[in-house]
């Protein structure tokens, strides 16, 4: 039974290194952090760090997401999770309690909530038209669980014991420091008697007298009272006691597992909900283990989008496509134009697609990489320029040694700490190796000389508006601007005409 999972069908994914470079460079760590910030009670990090490597498993998750796209069903599942959460909360409180009988009573309460939650969930499932294999499989399990004798007996007992406890009524005769506990014998409410006795004088409304409320924790006096009540109703309390002992662990492991795994889906849906509300599109991409002719339409960087939503700024979407032999995008253009964002988006799309999640965009076809490598600038001590160049070269060398033709590579401003001639020469060497490996890559650089290399490279640029100053954040396929050497140098140090105007504005 435990072999079935809501997260995969064919191949259990393995967790990657939490400290992997690409997670930080692509801001994916921020995204995951954000998603999990309100889900501390669940252990979801593992799931977000285990990408799938199987097209079929990706489809498996897509189907479940599609079922959850139905609002009512999603709400009912969230309801269920809240119910189980409440149960766990009550169980947690029990451990802090001191009196045996109170613990037992709370356990009864927890089981009551559990049964109600399960019943409700079952009902929701009955009334929903499910299409995903994962959820239908779980529904089969749920049906047999709800109809099993174990559950039915549990349910029956909890209802019976609760209602018999509700019938218990006792009287206290308190005189000085003596307390006598007896069964309630039908005595009349004296307050009511007094009220009707004085009723005749009433002329109109009079104020109600408010009194303080006392502390609500159990104490040794009331425990002593309850002990005696238990002696007056020995059968009921014995039944409670036995029931509590037999049912210390009442949560079915499959239910627990479902609650955990479904939170993976819910957590992501809750994270993208505000973006969807603003009209941003999400889609279920075609993911291929073989084909590298990828495209995506109207996509955006999720982390950035989340930030911009709260400051009411507009989010610019971009598209890209690679046809035929095309594999490597060389992205050049004015600084602050959204190039790094675009590169991050490229990486995020692929990573989230490999987790089987709906991704930003109106439609997409992506590749399923075996690994994602990133080469972003490191903030080094500027004096040690030699060290930085060496570091760059060593890193890219390590990456290319590990990479396979199924990897994904994202390079952001490499070799910026050496002369242009060196940088261009080095760049060309690297691109040749990348081309030979036939891997998908995006290379953000200020070196426009690299933008044309062979039939595998594609030039894209970041654009500015008519006034040469406003950033549009639009990235388009276009040949590089072909500016002179000087302009290129100036670009490198952010000293172009446009740069200076912009920088002096603030």
Partner 1 sequence: MNVYLLYSNKMFDPQQPVPIQSETLIKDLELNTIFKSMAGNDEFILKNVKTLILSGLSDISEIEYRQMILKDCLKYPKETRELYLLACQGVDIEKNKYMGFLINYPSNVLNGSIKALELYIPILQKLYNLADWALAHYTSTGFKRFFQMIKEELSDSYIKLMKEHLKNLKFTNGILISANLSKNLRAETYTIHRFPIKKSTLKERIFGEKEPSFSFTISDKDEIGFNILSEIKDEGVRTISNIVAQSCDHIRSFFLQLKTELSFYIGCINLYEQIKNIGSYVNFPTPHPINTQQFFCQNLYNISLSLSLGKKIVGNTIDACGKQLTIVTGANQGGKTTFLQSVGQAYLMMQCGMFVACEVFSASIAPVFTHFKREEDKSMKSGKLDEELNRMSSIIDSIKPGSLLLMNESFASTNEREGSEIGIQIVSALIEKNINIIFVTHFYKFAKFFYDQSKNNYLFLRAEKPIDGKYSFILKEGKPLTTSFGEEIYNRTWNKQY
Which residues lie near partner 1 (CB under 8 A)?
Answer: 101-102, 105-106, 109, 165-166, 168-185, 187-191, 193-195, 197-204, 206-212, 214-216, 218-222, 224, 226, 228-229, 231-232
Q: Measured from the CB atom, is 126 or 179 closer to partner 1?
A: 179
Dihedral sign from CA coordinates of 219, 222, 227, 233: negative
Residue 394, SS3 per DSSP: helix
Location of structure tokens 């989340």: 306
Location of structure tokens 């009864």: 108
Q: Tell me the C-alpha distance between 450 and 439, whole Å.
A: 17
**Residue 318 · residue 474 · CB < 8 Å:** yes
CB 102 to partner 1: min, Å? 5
Query: How remote is the C-alpha of 349 from its chain's centroid?
Result: 15
Q: Measured from the CB atom, is 161 or 359 closer to partner 1?
A: 161
CB 189 to partner 1: min, Å? 5
Please, what's the largest Cα pairwise distance for the chain? 107
CB 90 to partner 1: min, Å? 10
Q: Measured from the CB atom, is 176 or 310 closer to partner 1?
A: 176
Residue 457, SS3 per DSSP: strand
Structure-token pair, residue 420: 């242009």
CB 344 to partner 1: min, Å? 51
CB 285 to partner 1: min, Å? 49
Q: Measured from the CB atom, is 173 or 277 closer to partner 1?
A: 173
**Residue 5 · residue 36 · CB < 8 Å:** no
Q: Measured from the CB atom, is 207 or 324 closer to partner 1?
A: 207
CB 197 to partner 1: min, Å? 6
Q: Measured from the CB atom, is 200 or 314 closer to partner 1?
A: 200
CB 151 to partner 1: min, Å? 23
CB 203 to partner 1: min, Å? 4
CB 290 to partner 1: min, Å? 60
Burial class of residue 463 in the structure, from the number of CB atoms within 10 Å of its CB (0-12 exposed, 13-18 middle, 19+ buried): middle
DSSP category for residue 226: H
Q: Measured from the CB atom, is 206 or 486 closer to partner 1?
A: 206
Q: Tell me the C-alpha distance between 351 and 22, whole Å.
A: 10
Alpha helices in 315-441 (DSSP H): 339-354, 385-402, 420-437
Residue 293, SS3 per DSSP: coil
150-154: long-range pairs with CB below 8 Å, 24+:
151/115, 151/118, 151/252, 154/111, 154/115, 154/247, 154/250
Q: Measured from the CB atom, is 35 or 90 closer to partner 1?
A: 90
Measured between its terminal Cα atoms, the distance across the chain in Å is 63
**Residue 107 · residue 247 · CB < 8 Å:** yes
List the one residue out of 355, 485, 310, 259 whose CA is nearest residue 53. 355
Considering just the CA atoms, what is the radius of gyration of the chain in Å?
Answer: 33
CB 185 to partner 1: min, Å? 7
Q: Measured from the CB atom, is 234 or 279 closer to partner 1?
A: 234
Q: Measured from the CB atom, is 31 or 158 closer to partner 1?
A: 158
């Amino acid at each position: 039974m435990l072999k079935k999972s809501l997260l995969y069908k064919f191949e259990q994914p393995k967790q990657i290194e939490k400290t992997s470079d690409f997670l930080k460079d692509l801001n994916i760590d921020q995204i995951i952090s954000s998603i999990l910030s309100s889900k501390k009670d669940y252990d979801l990090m593992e799931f977000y760090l285990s990408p799938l490597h199987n097209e079929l498993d990706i489809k498996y998750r897509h189907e479940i997401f599609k079922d959850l796209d139905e609002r009512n069903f999603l709400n009912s599942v969230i309801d269920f999770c809240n119910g189980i959460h409440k149960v766990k909360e009550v169980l947690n409180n029990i451990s802090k309690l001191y009196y045996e009988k109170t613990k037992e009573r709370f356990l009864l309460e927890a089981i009551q909530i559990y049964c109600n939650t399960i019943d409700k969930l079952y009902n929701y499932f009955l009334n929903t038209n499910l299409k995903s294999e994962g959820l239908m499989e779980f529904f089969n399990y749920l049906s047999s669980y709800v109809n099993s004798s174990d559950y039915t007996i549990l349910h029956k007992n909890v209802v019976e014991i609760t209602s018999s406890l509700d019938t218990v009524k006792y009287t206290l005769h308190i005189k000085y420091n003596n307390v006598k506990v007896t069964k309630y014998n039908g005595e009349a409410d004296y307050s009511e008697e007094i009220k009707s006795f004085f009723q005749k004088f009433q002329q109109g409304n009079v104020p109600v007298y408010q009194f303080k409320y006392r502390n609500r924790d159990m104490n040794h006096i009331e425990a002593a009272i309850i002990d005696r009540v238990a002696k007056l109703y020995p059968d009921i309390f014995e039944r409670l006691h036995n029931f509590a002992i037999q049912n210390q662990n009442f949560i079915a492991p499959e239910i627990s597992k479902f609650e955990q795994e479904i939170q993976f889906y819910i957590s992501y849906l809750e994270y993208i909900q505000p973006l969807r509300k603003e009209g941003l599109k999400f889609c279920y991409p075609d993911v291929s283990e073989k084909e590298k002719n990828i495209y995506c339409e109207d996509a955006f960087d999720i982390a950035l989008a989340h930030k911009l939503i709260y400051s009411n700024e507009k989010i610019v979407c971009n598209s890209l496509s690679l046809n035929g032999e095309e594999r490597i995008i060389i992205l050049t253009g004015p600084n602050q134009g959204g190039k790094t964002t675009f590169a991050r988006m490229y990486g995020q799309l692929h990573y989230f697609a490999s987790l089987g999640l709906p991704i930003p965009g109106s439609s997409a076809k992506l590749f399923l990489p075996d690994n994602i490598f990133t080469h972003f600038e490191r903030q080094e001590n500027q004096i040690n320029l030699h060290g930085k160049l060496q570091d760059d070269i060593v890193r890219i060398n390590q990456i290319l040694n590990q990479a396979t033709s199924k990897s994904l590579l994202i390079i952001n401003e490499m070799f910026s700490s050496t002369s242009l001639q060196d940088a261009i020469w080095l760049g060309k060497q690297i691109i040749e190796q990348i081309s030979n490996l036939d891997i998908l890559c995006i290379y953000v650089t200020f070196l426009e000389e690299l933008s044309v290399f062979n039939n595998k490279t594609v030039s894209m640029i970041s654009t500015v508006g008519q006034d040469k100053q406003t950033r549009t954040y639009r990235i388009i396929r276009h040949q590089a601007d072909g500016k002179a050497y000087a302009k290129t140098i100036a670009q490198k140090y952010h000293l172009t005409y446009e740069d200076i105007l912009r920088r002096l504005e603030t």
